Structure 1
Amino acid sequence: MVLIKLNPTVGATDAVASSKHSAVLHRHLDTTFLNMTRSEGNFLILENDRKIFDASGGAAVGCLGWGDQRVAQAVTNQVLAAPYCATIFYTTRVQEELCRDLVQSTNGAMARAYIVNSGSEAMEAAVKLARQYFLEIDQPQRTRFISRKQSYHGITLGALSVGGHEVRRAKFEPLLIKNVSRVSPCNAFRGKAPGESDEEYAERLAKELDEEFQRVGPENVCAFVAEPIVGAALGCVPAVKGYFKAVRDVCDKYGALLILDEVMCGMGRSGTLHAWEQEGIVPDIQTIGKALGGGYQPVAGLLAGHRVVNALEKGSSVFVHGHTYQGHPAACAAALEVQRIVREENLLSNVRAMGDLLSSRMREILASHPNVDDIRGRGLFWGIEFVADKENMAPFPSEDHVCMEICQLGLTDKYGINVYPGGGSVDGITGDHIIISPAFNISREDVEWIAATVGRLVSDYFAAKAGTQ
């Protein structure tokens, strides 16, 4: 995604001064940012009390909406009781309870959890844990990873190395680890051949993965890394049926681990607590984040399977990794309370029902639009891909910044909606999409409003774009 200067028509009265006058090292140094002062329910409220409906939960983070007093009280209570824990010496009841809750949520498929503060940290831990697993079982030659093109697994150097997001990688390529190779993503919209069935497509991609194992030496591979539903890099693209069973078989054939990145698509976002539940497989290592704590605290984590944990327990019994703020008590308290609410209020059933409604209404409104070529996703995790030419699926030039301009237009008074931009869905550089991922407890009326507003936003944007050409 390429950030561009925010259009000043967004509203000078609710924007802070240009970033040039700010002490913050913002994402973009000459952008004018809106000043959000509070958030309530599904709304982000700006300095002049103007409200914007948060239809993306930030970056698919908000799962309960904003201002939930139960979560805020749980965090407050924990901060007053024990705000910090030096995990080299101590643990806390809240960390133990959260990790037990997460392990139990897998029906015994996973063995232990590790709590950190961001998805990038979780992926760094996953990469290092995979490497250490093979040291523990005396296979030190395994140093390679295989991931997929047009993937995103985090912004730190290790996580960026295993990802395939070209724009985010470009400036840092000389610093990234070189023992990662990539295969094709499972993107039926752009990847399936004419007349090819889902089963044939999955078999072809599994064969490509098998051939990549053979090319780099199967005895050298630590793990295959993938998102069950590709978020930021492709815009909510789920795999075809049978794909993950096929790649699980390839990993098992060569003794490699399967790492599933569920930072964006997991913890209920796709309709089940863990996205892999819908694929009929279990990963060896899983990363989680975003909807884990719903944005109430910075929190993410890793779940490790029995195969990995048993190797450590029988070997060194030490995971050579650590953070000052891992297992942070306040973050654990937020996540534990968010997950309790999701479970006790049966919100995953609402995710599935409202997801079905959202997808059907968006397709009714936008499927025939000449610049909308695919609407895809699961649960309350939906992407819309835009094209310049629907007949040949040609993308807009990356310098047009279509996805960002649509999102910026949505922030104006006329629409008052927040959706999430993404680019590179065609080749890692070109290709525009937006993500719609509202709170799990959203109502039918709100879903109808989101679909209608997004439809109006997209139609108006492209009508204005056509008028200026």
Structure 2
Amino acid sequence: MSHIFPRNCRQSPPVAVGGDGCYLIDASGKRYLDGSGGAAVSCLGHSDKAIVAAIKAQADTLAFAHTGFFTSEPAEQLADLLVANAPTGIDRVYLVSGGSEATEAAIKLARQYWVEKGEPQRGKLIARKQSYHGNTIGALSAGGNEWRRAQFAPLLLDISHIDPCYEYRLRQDGESLEDYGLRAAQALEDEILRLGPDTVMAFMAEPVVGATAGAVPPAPGYFKRIREICDRYGVLLILDEVMCGMGRTGTLFACEQDGVAPDIVCIAKGLGAGYQPIGAMLCSAEIYAAIESGSGFFQHGHTYIGHPTAAAAGHAVVSALLDRGLVQRAQQQGEKLAERLNDRFGQHPHVGDLRGRGLFRGIELVADRDSKAPFDPSQGVAGKLKKAAFEQGLICYPMSGTIDGRTGDHVLIAPPFIIEDTQLDELTDKLGRAMDAVI
């Protein structure tokens, strides 16, 4: 009898006992192709000796030192490496233990920035529907995942949510991609004006939407227009790259492909590649200067921020991504994956959309391809597909509520960057068999 409090009390998952590259192995010896990197985490696979060696070496030297008293060499080195490769203007790194901590820190920093600047009336945050920013109360409030939010609604903060940039569902007939992108971005300006420009502190968004909507990329020009609107009204731009960043979409920071630089950017998942729990909130020199020249103290913190062993792992992971050409490989293998998915599912009667960037791909499932009508939620398509794929020996990330938190189903695919061509074939084949079994 287990004393673990599991995610699902009605399921008894197998015991994972080993990892081998792109595979996880359970206690019975069964091998599972990790087609989603867990939750887009395991970008280097499960047996990278260099990362393990870096963790061991750091643990032998210094496992932990509280940041209330010390900094550490691995934390400093990781911060230097991230800033050297970050978007223009990013100058400071606040190391945390995961994505929710990173987005929570970003929200609080945005608020403190305006307090330090002498504009305490700026306390409103705008985010997007069908987004996900984490599971702490602040992060969950910012997110637009209605299924995750519903039962906690009385506890959540009052945050505005505008429509996402979701071309498959929201672009009008005859509307160009560029025109749609500008129209979608206009929703931000409209909401800023509705709330009052001098009350809004920040806008938060995922460059490529992850778990809630399934690898939805922005329309061309969307984020450039978003950046212009934020600049016009003095609103901070927070980009959540917890899932889509660290090379996942084919550039180290996902926003590089949209030609914008945020004021604050959040990363995690691929930063530690699953070898250690680590995330980071990065901010501009201007934001840091406001704190430094003001109170001099960011009123926030957790016990394990800047953890030396986790930082050593993060430095080894980012170094591996850059030095081994794995970011470029994610782009190359992502294009091959997209081709395979299109060949297998491009004309599937129950596949409405294939989308994504790099090794971050989504498949939206529909009951009717022509009308885009979703499956009835009572059919539980996403849950059944996850189970069927797992039985085939494939780990993937299906989710329901794609369209509005209640209706719609998609599958998220995010394998390790080291995935080989034959494993891309295996992934596609196993996913196809699972879909045949369910749909």
Q: What is the deviation of 1:68?
A: 1.1
What residue identity is the alignment partner of 1:81? T
The CA distance in 2 between the partners of 1:83 and 1:108, in whole Å, is 33
The CA distance in 2 between the partners of 1:408 and 1:322, in whole Å, is 39
Q: What is the deviation of 1:175?
A: 0.5
What residue identity is the alignment partner of 2:425? E
Residue by residue over 1:48-81, the C-alpha shift from the partner in whole angstroms, topping out at 9 and shown as x without a partner, is 1111111111000001100111111111111121
Structure 2 match to 1:237: 216
The CA distance in 2 between the partners of 1:359 and 1:35, in whole Å, is 32
Correspondence for 2:130 among 150, 156, 178: 150
- SS of 2:410 mapped into structure 1: strand
The CA distance in 2 between the partners of 1:391 and 1:236, in whole Å, is 21
Structure 1 match to 2:83: 103
The CA distance in 2 between the partners of 1:201 and 1:280, in whole Å, is 18
- Note if 1:112 corresponds to 2:92: yes
The CA distance in 1 between the partners of 2:153 and 2:434, in whole Å, is 37
Q: What is the deviation of 1:447?
A: 1.5
Residue by residue over 1:290-329, the C-alpha shift from the partner in whole angstroms, topping out at 9 and shown as x without a partner, is 0001000001111101221121222222111111000011
The CA distance in 1 between the partners of 2:398 and 2:344, in whole Å, is 20
Q: Is the 8 A contact 1:362 1:455 kept in 2?
A: no
Structure 2 match to 1:304: 283
Q: Is the 8 A contact 1:374 1:385 kept in 2?
A: yes
The CA distance in 1 between the partners of 2:287 and 2:40, in whole Å, is 29
The CA distance in 1 between the partners of 2:143 and 2:228, in whole Å, is 22
Superposition map of 1:262-341 within 5 A: 262-341=241-320
The CA distance in 2 between the partners of 1:203 and 1:68, in whole Å, is 43
Residue by residue over 1:147-191, the C-alpha shift from the partner in whole angstroms, topping out at 9 and shown as x without a partner, is 00111100010000111100000010000111x101100010001
The CA distance in 2 between the partners of 1:113 and 1:430, in whole Å, is 38
- SS of 2:434 mapped into structure 1: helix
Larger displacement relative to structure 2 (348-357 or 393-402): 393-402
- Note if 1:436 corresponds to 2:413: yes
Q: Is the 8 A contact 2:87 2:261 kept in 1?
A: no
Displaced runs of 4+ in structure 1, greater than 3 A?
none
Correspondence for 2:7 among 10, 23, 27: 27
Structure 2 match to 1:12: none
- Note if 1:355 corresponds to 2:342: no
The CA distance in 2 between the partners of 1:107 and 1:422, in whole Å, is 31
Structure 2 match to 1:374: 353
Gaps of 5+ in 2: none
What residue identity is the alignment partner of 1:418? I
Structure 2 match to 1:226: 205
Q: What is the deviation of 1:244?
A: 0.2
Correspondence for 1:141 among 111, 115, 121: 121
Structure 1 match to 2:184: 205
What residue identity is the alignment partner of 1:45? I
Q: What is the deviation of 1:107?
A: 5.8
The CA distance in 1 between the partners of 2:89 and 2:378, in whole Å, is 45
Q: Residues 387, 253 of structure 1: CA spacing in aligned structure 2 closer, same or farther, 3 A cutoff?
A: same
Residue by residue over 1:91-113, the C-alpha shift from the partner in whole angstroms, topping out at 9 and shown as x without a partner, is 10000000110000126531100
The CA distance in 1 between the partners of 2:281 and 2:186, in whole Å, is 29
Gaps of 5+ in 1: 1-20, 463-469
Cα RMSD after superposing both structures: 1.1
TM-score by structure 1 length?
0.92
Correspondence for 2:102 among 112, 119, 122: 122
Q: Is the 8 A contact 1:371 1:389 kept in 2?
A: yes
The CA distance in 2 between the partners of 1:57 and 1:167, in whole Å, is 23
Structure 1 match to 2:49: 69
Larger displacement relative to structure 2 (260-269 or 365-374): 365-374
Percent identity for Structure 1 against Structure 2: 44
What residue identity is the alignment partner of 1:153? H
Q: What is the deviation of 1:31?
A: 1.3
Structure 2 match to 1:461: 438
Structure 2 match to 1:11: none
Q: Is the 8 A contact 1:85 1:92 kept in 2?
A: yes
What residue identity is the alignment partner of 1:125? A
Structure 2 match to 1:344: 323
Q: Is the 8 A contact 1:187 1:239 kept in 2?
A: yes
TM-score by structure 2 length?
0.98
The CA distance in 2 between the partners of 1:362 and 1:314, in whole Å, is 52
- Note if 1:188 corresponds to 2:167: yes
The CA distance in 2 between the partners of 1:108 and 1:146, in whole Å, is 23
Superposition map of 1:34-73 within 5 A: 34-73=14-53
Q: What is the deviation of 1:404?
A: 1.6
Residue by residue over 1:241-297, the C-alpha shift from the partner in whole angstroms, topping out at 9 and shown as x without a partner, is 100011111111110100000000000000000001001110000000100010000
Structure 2 match to 1:249: 228
Larger displacement relative to structure 2 (146-155 or 311-320): 311-320
Q: Residues 452, 30 of structure 1: CA spacing in aligned structure 2 closer, same or farther, 3 A cutoff?
A: closer
Q: Is the 8 A contact 2:88 2:261 kept in 1?
A: no
Q: What is the deviation of 1:444?
A: 1.7
- Note if 1:423 corresponds to 2:406: no
The CA distance in 2 between the partners of 1:244 and 1:429, in whole Å, is 27
What residue identity is the alignment partner of 1:231? G
- SS of 2:331 mapped into structure 1: helix
Q: Residues 215, 108 of structure 1: CA spacing in aligned structure 2 closer, same or farther, 3 A cutoff?
A: closer
The CA distance in 1 between the partners of 2:212 and 2:32, in whole Å, is 25
Residue by residue over 1:172-231, the C-alpha shift from the partner in whole angstroms, topping out at 9 and shown as x without a partner, is 0000111x1011000100010001111211221222211111111111001010000000
Q: Is the 8 A contact 2:87 2:256 kept in 1?
A: no
Structure 2 match to 1:174: 154
Larger displacement relative to structure 2 (393-402 or 220-229): 393-402
Residue by residue over 1:382-418, the C-alpha shift from the partner in whole angstroms, topping out at 9 and shown as x without a partner, is 0111111112111112232211211111111xx2111
What residue identity is the alignment partner of 1:29? C
- SS of 1:38 mapped into structure 2: strand
Q: What is the deviation of 1:456?
A: 2.6
Q: What is the deviation of 1:455?
A: 2.2
What residue identity is the alignment partner of 1:442? I
Aligned residues: 439
